[in-house]
Structure 1
Amino acid sequence: MHRVLLIDDDEQLGPPLATYFQRFELSLTHALRPSEGLQRLRAGGFDAAILDVMLPEMDGFELCRTIRKESDIPIVMLTARGDVMDRVVGLEIGADDYLPKPFEPRELVARLQTVLRRRRASLAPQSPAVGDAGQGELRFEGLTLDPARRSVIRQGEPVELTGTEFELLMLLAREPGRVHSRDDILNQLRGHEADLYTRAVDIVVSRLRKKLEPLDCIKTLRNAGYSLALRRLTP
């Protein structure tokens, strides 16, 4: 059973949500304050975290930044107003998904199941992502990707990527030079369970570009999409 930590100061939210989660083999622990949530996360044992944006001590964005400095645990953020800017900021600082309040518990479960599947793939090299089976390292000028280990080496240095960033890079790297539209990227990375918008793709690409600097490897084609502009090295 996957363990999920909810950090939300609404005392009435945790108990009914925990009962509902049990139907989907999810065990929910509720922390009311960021300090308590961080303590629990640092103790280990959780597979995903849900963060509310409006919190005492620090807001959900600051909390997400703090967690990201220490862990790559999947994070789903809850935005009280459903504000697009809240979602944009959340994705920019490393959240894996978002859900506006009020939300349907089943939709939250669907979002969690999506990020947990991606997490399982990253922790199980023997079960590569679809399309990577039997595929060895992908080597480019200045960049090496290992689908089995889900590792990235940029000019000899390892690069830490979130699950979404790695999947996007792999999507582009499998067919360097091919232009992938935003809709295609959304379908490949999120599937039909998450109601995302094309701006989310731009955010993840921006984060990925910064992490891959000084390489200039992701090209934007106006009104078309993105492609990997690196020369593939032969084995």
Structure 2
Amino acid sequence: MDNFFIAVVDDDIHIRNLVEAYLQKENYRTIGLENAEDAWELWRSDPPDMWVLDLMLPGMDGYELCRRIRKEAEVPIIMISARDNEVDKILGLELGSDDYLVKPFSPRELVARIKRQLQRWYRLKGSEEAILNSDVKLQIHLGRLQLMLTERRVFWSGEETDLTLKEFDLLKSLAENPNRAFTRDELLTRVWGDDYYGSDRAVDHLIKRIRKKIDGLPIEAVWGHGYRLRTDGEES
């Protein structure tokens, strides 16, 4: 794992140099970029294995770059920002970032988080390959809902719905366990990992976005507990 290629996108050259220096000590290959436009060009030509992405950038901001990358791939993304605002954190996570770190931060903490995300990504890729080479179910049918797991596509009443990475992972967790009530903490762990320490409001916001995209989807709140995907038992 020490040969991963990591892009550091920040308009502050001192932060870029500091982060790159710490990563290079861990034998990662790095590239520093000062704006999202150059980062997008890099993605098109020589895509990194992971991104450390500043939220506030000149021109295209980090949110937009994250959204574009997420439409094409599931590489790990850690957002960094001087803005310690819960709404910013939730928005970044909803758009597909895997973690959010507030400036000023410890470079050692950032490196530790990078290692965790890369390990998780490595395990995820291994799991996907195992699914493709096994008899594990590749689709979920629950009434009008259909999830194609390896392709990460969602259909409601035969119409495809475009979900973000986190939206898909949350819906998949509920669909794999119909009628089971999950706590918010359980859903946080399933979608963001057990090293996420943000507010459980991220789950509420994600549920709200899924409901808005899929009108009629029977996700219901369980008072004082969390959420479940109700079903009449029709499954194949």
Q: TM-score, normalised to structure 1's length?
A: 0.81
Whether contact under 8 Å (1:126, 1:148) holds in the other structure is no
CA separation of 1:20/1:205 partners in 2, compared to 1, >3 Å: closer, same or farther? same
Deviation at 1:71, TM superposition (A): 5.1
Aligned residues: 231
CA separation of 1:207/1:29 partners in 2, compared to 1, >3 Å: closer, same or farther? farther
Q: Distance in 2 between matches of 1:145 and 1:106?
A: 39
Aligned CA RMSD, in angstroms, stands at 2.9
SS at 2:78 equivalent = strand
Whether contact under 8 Å (1:79, 1:100) holds in the other structure is yes
Deviation at 1:80, TM superposition (A): 0.5
Deviations 1:20-67 (A, max 9, x none): 224555332110112211111122422222221222223323443454
Amino acid at match of 1:51: L
Q: Distance in 2 between matches of 1:96 and 1:63?
A: 14
4+ residue runs over 6 A deviation: none
Q: Gaps spanning 5+ residues in structure 1: where?
A: none
Corresponding residue number in structure 2 for 1:231 = 232
Corresponding residue number in structure 2 for 1:127 = 130
Corresponding residue number in structure 1 for 2:183 = 181
Matches within 5 A, 1:51-130: 51-68=53-70, 72-117=74-119, 119-120=121-122, 121=124, 125-128=128-131
Q: Distance in 2 between matches of 1:185 and 1:61?
A: 23
Deviation at 1:79, TM superposition (A): 1.8
Matches within 5 A, 1:1-235: 1-22=3-24, 24=26, 26-68=28-70, 72-117=74-119, 119-120=121-122, 121=124, 125-128=128-131, 134-211=136-213, 213-235=214-236
Whether contact under 8 Å (1:8, 1:31) holds in the other structure is yes
Q: Quick one: percent identity of the two aligned structures?
A: 35
Deviations 1:114-167 (A, max 9, x none): 544554425852235xxx983442211111224444443333344444433232
Q: Distance in 2 between matches of 1:144 and 1:127?
A: 21
Amino acid at match of 2:218: C
Q: Distance in 2 between matches of 1:84 and 1:234?
A: 38
Q: Gaps spanning 5+ residues in structure 2: where?
A: none
